[in-house]
Structure 1
C-alpha cells in the first residue's frame, strides 16, 4: 500500500515538474519571438515620425491599431502570435489611408515565389547573382514570411509629396523581380508585412528577417542610379515627353487631386449629401491611377465613404463607382487608347479638366483657396499675383510691418483651422501629438489653443 502511494505521489511530482518545464520552455520561445519582433520593427522604424500600424488576422477577422514609434517596444507583446503585421510607412493620424501618409520609409517588393514552386532560399541566391548590386541595390532586410519573401530597401524619410516618385520606383523594382513571382498588387504605400517572430498560420512557419546592412537610400539616388529612363540623357524631339517622365507627372497630378478631394470633404465637415457618388467615384478612380491596385483602391474608397456624415450603403457605393475601375483598366488597354486618340481624346480613361470637376462638385472660390490643384483660372492668377508680390518684396530686401502682420495672420488662421479639425477627430490626442501633426512647437501650440 505504501509503495503504491509513493509511486502515485512520485508520478504526480514528475507530472508537475514536466508541466513546469514545458511552461518554461514556452516562455523562453515567446521571449525569443518577442525579441525578434522588437528588433525587426525598431530597426525598420528607427527615429520614425507619425503613427505605425500593427495588424493581425484572427479567425478571418482583421484588426489593426496605431501606435507612436516610441510605444511599439512596449505594445508588441500584446500582439505576439499568428499572422501579425506592421506598416512599412507612417501616417500623420491613426488611419491607414494613402492620403494620411506622413513618412515614406521604405521601398519593398513582395515575392510570392511559392506560386512558381520556387524555394525562397534558392530565389535569394538567384537574386544575389543576377539582380542585387547591379540592376537593383542590395536590400536592407529580407523577410522570409513562411512561404514567400519580401525585399525591403530602407530610405531616408520622405514626405507625402514624394509619393508619385516613390510609386514610380516601387513599380520599377517590382518589374525587375517579376520573373521570380513579384506581387504587383502589393506595392501601395499603406502596405503591411509580417513581423519577425510571428507565425504564418497557413503553414505554421515562423517569420524570419535577414538583416544585410543599415545604410538608408534616398529616393533621388534610387531614381538617378537605377531608373535612368526617368532622367533622359539625350534631348528628345520638341513637344514630346519621355513616357516614364510623363507617367510620373500624371501620377503627381492624380495624387494632388486625391488630396484635394479629401480636403474638400473636410472643408464641408463630411456633409456632402447630393455629391457622395461623385466624390467616391473620383476617389476610387484617382486611387487606381496612383497605386495601380484596384483591390486596395476599392477598400480605401469604402473607408473614405464610411467617414461621411451619411455614408452610402456599401453595395450601392461599390456598384455606383464600378465604372471608375473599368476606366482605369482602359488606360492600360492599347486598343482602347488608340480608339480614344482617334476620337480626339488624350487617351482612354477619364481625362477631366479642372473646370469640369469644379462644376460637378460645385467648388466655391472660398474652397479653392484651400486646394492645391483643383482650381480655376481666377485662383491661378490670384496665386501668381501673390508670388509676384513676394518676389518683389524679396528683391527689395524688406517687408513692411503691415505686410508681415497680414502674412502672419493668414498663417495663424490656417493653423487654427487645422488644429480645430484635428482635435475634433482626435479629442484624446496629447499635446505632443498635436504639435507633431501640425509641425509646430509645444509653445506655439499652447498659444493657438488659447485662441480657440
Structure 2
C-alpha cells in the first residue's frame, strides 16, 4: 500500500518522537474541523491505513518531542521537502518532474529520494540521516536553498518550516478530487545534511555570511562572524529578546513596537506558516504587562513575509553564486539588518542586561568577554598562568637543591638566576 511505502521511506527503527497526522473533516457551520493524531513510529501505519481513500489527510515529515507541532518542539529532522504548486506556474506535473531532474543533473539541487502527487502539484522529499533540533540552522538553510532553486516552478515558501505537514499519499485532495500518490521512490539513498551543506552551500567553518561588493577601493568585502551564520544569528537574537523580557518581568512599555517587530522577523526565519507565526507573535505580545493592540500587531505581521522573501533571496543568492551588494536601502527594506548598536539603543538595553545575552551586546561587553576568554585561555588545568606555573616549578627545584646542601650562590648558578632572586624565592618556601 502506498501509505505504508511512504511511511517506511521516512520513518524506521531510528525514529524517535511524535509524528503528527492531521485530518480535515467536512465543513461544520461553514468551517472545516481539524482532527489531530499524534503517534510514535510503532503505531503510525495502523493509523494511516484507516485513512485510505479519505479526503484531506496530512502528515508531518519531522518528529516532535512533545505531541504539539511547533518548530521549537522538533525532536528529529527526517527529511528535507518542498511543496511545488506547478499548476500555478502553468506547468504540468510530468513536465515539472522532468525539469527538477534537469536541475539535479546540472548540480543545482540534490536528487529527490521521493516524489508524490499532491493533487494540484507535487511534493519532493530528500531523506536524511536523522538529526536533532540543534541542526535547525543547517536544515533551514538547506531547505531555503532548495526552495530558492525551485521557486520558479511554484515552490511554496510557507511550506519550508520544520513543523510543516504535507498531504499523505493514498488519500484524496478534495480541492480537485484527485488521488494523492507516490510517483517515485528511492529507498537506497539517504543524505547527510552536513555533506549536503558542503556540496550545495559551499559551507566552511567560520563561513562568511554576508558579501559586500563596492565599486570603489574594495571589490569584494566579506562581513563575517566566527560564531553565527545569518540563520543562527536570527534565532539567537530572538532568544536574547525573550531573555530581555524576562529580565524586565515583561514590562516593555516604550519598547513594545520594536520588540514585537524584531521578534516577528527573527522568528519568521524559521516559522514560515503565516498562521503559526501569528500565534507565536501574539503569544509573545500577550506576555507583556501592557500588550499592544491586536491591530498594531497585525500591522507588523503584514510586513514580515516580504522581508523574509528578501532575506532568502539574499542569503540563497550568495550560495547560488550571485553577486550581492549590501546597501543602506537593503538594510532598511530588504530584510532587517539591525546593528547591535541600533538594537541596544531602540530597546534601551543596559550593560547589566547585555551580560545575560549572547548576541545583542555593545563594544564594552564585547571587549570584556574577549578579555575574559584570553584570561581563561592563559591558565592551565590548575587555573594557573604560565608564569605562576613556572614559579611553582622553580620553588620545587630550589627546595630539592637546598636539601642536597647547596648554598644560595650554587643554587643561583645551577638554575641560571641571580643570588638575590634565589634569596627572595627561598622566603616563600
TM-score tier, shorter chain, comes to 0.5 to 0.7
Give the whole-Å Cα distance in 1 for the aligned partners of 2:163 and 2:94: 27
SS at structure 2 position matched to 1:150: strand
SS at structure 2 position matched to 1:139: coil
Would you say the 8 A contact 1:287–1:297 is kept in 2? no
Match of 1:45 in 2: 11
Q: What do residues 369-418 of structure 1 show as CA deviations (whole Å, max 9, x unaligned)?
A: 5533223445444544554455345xx34569xxxxxxxxxxxxxxxxxx
Q: Pairwise CA RMSD of aligned residues?
A: 4.4
Would you say the 8 A contact 2:87–2:121 is kept in 1? yes
Structure 2: unaligned runs, 5 residues or longer = 315-323, 385-429
Give the whole-Å Cα distance in 2 for the aligned partners of 1:193 and 1:177: 17
Match of 1:286 in 2: 266
How far did residue 152 of structure 1 move? 0.6
Is 1:304 aligned to residue 281 of structure 2? Answer: yes
Give the whole-Å Cα distance in 1 for the aligned partners of 2:357 and 2:292: 25
Q: What pairs up with 1:166-245 in 2 under 5 angstroms?
A: 166-209=139-182, 210-228=184-202, 240-241=220-221
Is 1:391 aligned to residue 377 of structure 2? Answer: yes
How far did residue 363 of structure 1 move? 4.7
Instruction: Identify if the C-alpha distance between structure 1 residues 270 and 389 changes in structure 2 by more than 3 Å, giving closer, same or farther.
Output: same
Is 1:110 aligned to residue 83 of structure 2? Answer: yes
Match of 1:255 in 2: 235
Would you say the 8 A contact 2:264–2:281 is kept in 1? no
The structure with the largest alpha-carbon Rg is 2
Q: What do residues 405-433 of structure 1 show as CA deviations (whole Å, max 9, x unaligned)?
A: xxxxxxxxxxxxxxxxxxxxxxxxxxxxx
How far did residue 149 of structure 1 move? 1.0
Is 1:55 aligned to residue 13 of structure 2? Answer: no
Q: What pairs up with 1:59-98 in 2 under 5 angstroms?
A: 59=27, 60-62=32-34, 64=36, 66-70=38-42, 72-73=44-45, 75-76=47-48, 81-98=54-71
Question: Which residue of 94, 103, 106 maps to 1:131?
Answer: 103
Would you say the 8 A contact 1:146–1:200 is kept in 2? yes
Instruction: Identify if the C-alpha distance between structure 1 residues 204 and 177 changes in structure 2 by more than 3 Å, giving closer, same or farther.
Output: same
Structure 1: unaligned runs, 5 residues or longer = 1-31, 401-452
Would you say the 8 A contact 1:88–1:192 is kept in 2? yes
Give the whole-Å Cα distance in 1 for the aligned partners of 2:128 and 2:66: 21
How far did residue 87 of structure 1 move? 2.1
Match of 2:328 in 1: 341
How far did residue 318 of structure 1 move? 0.2
Q: Which moved more, 1:324-333 or 1:153-162?
A: 324-333
Q: Which moved more, 1:310-319 or 1:263-272?
A: 263-272
Give the whole-Å Cα distance in 2 for the aligned partners of 1:345 and 1:379: 24
Give the whole-Å Cα distance in 2 for the aligned partners of 1:94 and 1:266: 26
How far did residue 85 of structure 1 move? 1.4
Match of 2:361 in 1: 375
Instruction: Identify if the C-alpha distance between structure 1 residues 179 and 272 changes in structure 2 by more than 3 Å, giving closer, same or farther.
Output: closer
SS at structure 2 position matched to 1:173: helix
Give the whole-Å Cα distance in 1 for the aligned partners of 2:250 and 2:3: 38
Q: Higher helix share goes to which structure?
A: 1
Instruction: Identify if the C-alpha distance between structure 1 residues 297 and 365 changes in structure 2 by more than 3 Å, giving closer, same or farther.
Output: farther
How far did residue 153 of structure 1 move? 0.7
Match of 1:416 in 2: none
Would you say the 8 A contact 1:140–1:213 is kept in 2? yes
Would you say the 8 A contact 1:267–1:367 is kept in 2? yes
Instruction: Identify if the C-alpha distance between structure 1 residues 75 and 263 changes in structure 2 by more than 3 Å, giving closer, same or farther.
Output: farther
SS at structure 2 position matched to 1:132: helix
Instruction: Identify if the C-alpha distance between structure 1 residues 222 and 327 changes in structure 2 by more than 3 Å, giving closer, same or farther.
Output: closer
Would you say the 8 A contact 1:338–1:347 is kept in 2? no
Instruction: Identify if the C-alpha distance between structure 1 residues 276 and 113 changes in structure 2 by more than 3 Å, giving closer, same or farther.
Output: same
Match of 2:392 in 1: none
Give the whole-Å Cα distance in 2 for the aligned partners of 1:253 and 1:43: 33
How far did residue 305 of structure 1 move? 1.7
Instruction: Identify if the C-alpha distance between structure 1 residues 208 and 49 changes in structure 2 by more than 3 Å, giving closer, same or farther.
Output: same
Q: What pairs up with 1:312-351 in 2 under 5 angstroms?
A: 314-324=294-304, 341=328, 349-351=335-337
SS at structure 2 position matched to 1:177: helix
Would you say the 8 A contact 1:97–1:300 is kept in 2? no
Instruction: Identify if the C-alpha distance between structure 1 residues 275 and 126 changes in structure 2 by more than 3 Å, giving closer, same or farther.
Output: closer
How far did residue 198 of structure 1 move? 2.3
Question: Which residue of 343, 354, 361 maps to 2:340?
Answer: 354
